[in-house]
Amino acid sequence: MGDRSRSSAGSPADEALQSRDGLRIETRASVVTLTLDRPDSLNALTVPLKVALLEALLAIARSSAIRVVVLTGAGRAFCAGQDLAERAEPDAPPLEVELRERYNPMVRALRDLPQPVIAAINGVAAGAGASLALASDLRIASVDARFVLAFGRIGLVPDSGLTWLLPRLVGAARAAELALVGDPLGANEALAIGLVGRVVPAAELLPAAHALADRIAEGPPRALAMTKRLLEAGWSTDLDEALEAEAAAQGLAGASADHAEGLAAFREKRPPRFSGE
């Protein structure tokens, strides 16, 4: 990652930000990149990988040094979903237990992160792998990316938040077609229906994701975290509740040192230096 890279060590939160169990963690300045790193298995999700990812997300949520998260996959896939070989083991827990104990907390942790999350979708995002991409705040796709929601083809239903996330991102009719038919969706099709924000050549994917992450990292952390909460709450509140939530959040933002810094920078015609205070 160049001379801006650093490793994390010291506190319990830092210790959770170590590469392990198929999760590679790289921190560059205030941006952390989480790479699902099981390329021979298309980054399919095993229990150790799910545990490592959840612990990393919880540690990131406690970190004031990290301002943006990039989530991506190694090799030619973003994430193929559940590792089916693991499910074939005789001691595999029932699916509802696996969802409640591992998948649901992982998706909830992604949605609850105060830091913005950018999914850099480098290849196939299937099943719960698609859920991880959709649970992120922003999505950049390689031209090689594909979304596969073919749960029905193996006799299952969409899970890991897909039935909640998908219609909110692309609308009810598109969501029903994707979930019920299960045909793969290419990167440009995903762009056309609003599932991703942009499509770039494969070689430009991580540079584009990191450039966007760097821009966001320059923003006011507390205000961005409150913006995330307002956007999340807006899906389940009415207009009056949203107006009141905005007013309350704006009161906190307006009293912050970052707001004062933003005003000073505007008056002095210089870039602001936000501290998160």
* Mean pLDDT (whole number) for 218-232: 93
Residues 124-147 have pLDDT tens digits of 999 999 999 999 999 999 999 999
The pLDDT, as a whole number, for residue 15 is: 61
Helix, strand, coil percent values for the chain (each to nearest 5): 50, 15, 30
DSSP letter string, 44-83 = PBPHHHHHHHHHHHHHHHT-SS--EEEEEESTTEEE-SB-
The pLDDT, as a whole number, for residue 60 is: 96
CA R_g for the chain:
19
Among the listed ranges 7-11, 155-159, 203-207, 268-272, which one has the minimum average pLDDT value?
A: 7-11
What are residue 224's phi and psi, to 5 degrees?
A: -65, -40
* Mean pLDDT (whole number) for 71-87: 94
Tell whether the model's pLDDT for residue 10 goes beyond 60. no
Tell whether the model's pLDDT for residue 109 goes beyond 70. yes
Q: Round the average pLDDT of the chain to a whole number and report it.
A: 91
Pairing mode, if any, of strands 31-36 and 23-28?
antiparallel
Q: How confident is the model at residue 276 (pLDDT cuts 50, 70, 90)?
A: confident
* Mean pLDDT (whole number) for 173-186: 94
* Mean pLDDT (whole number) for 71-78: 97
The pLDDT, as a whole number, for residue 123 is: 97
Q: How confident is the model at residue 4 (pLDDT cuts 50, 70, 90)?
A: very low
Q: Which residue has the higher pLDDT, 276 or 228?
A: 228
Q: Which residue has the higher pLDDT, 123 or 261?
A: 123
Q: How confident is the model at residue 154 (pLDDT cuts 50, 70, 90)?
A: confident
67 closest CA partner among 188, 207, 213: 213
Q: Which amino acid type is present at position 113?
A: L
What are residue 164's phi and psi, to 5 degrees?
A: -90, -45
Tell whether the model's pLDDT for residue 12 goes beyond 70. no
Residues 13-46 have pLDDT tens digits of 566 688 889 999 999 989 999 999 999 999 999 9
How many other C-beta atoms lie within 10 A of the C-beta of residue 235? 9
Note the pTM of the prediction, 2 decimals: 0.91
Q: How confident is the model at residue 190 (pLDDT cuts 50, 70, 90)?
A: very high
Query: Residue for token digits 């509140």?
Result: 237
Domains of the chain: 2-217 (3.90.226.10), 221-268 (1.10.12.10)
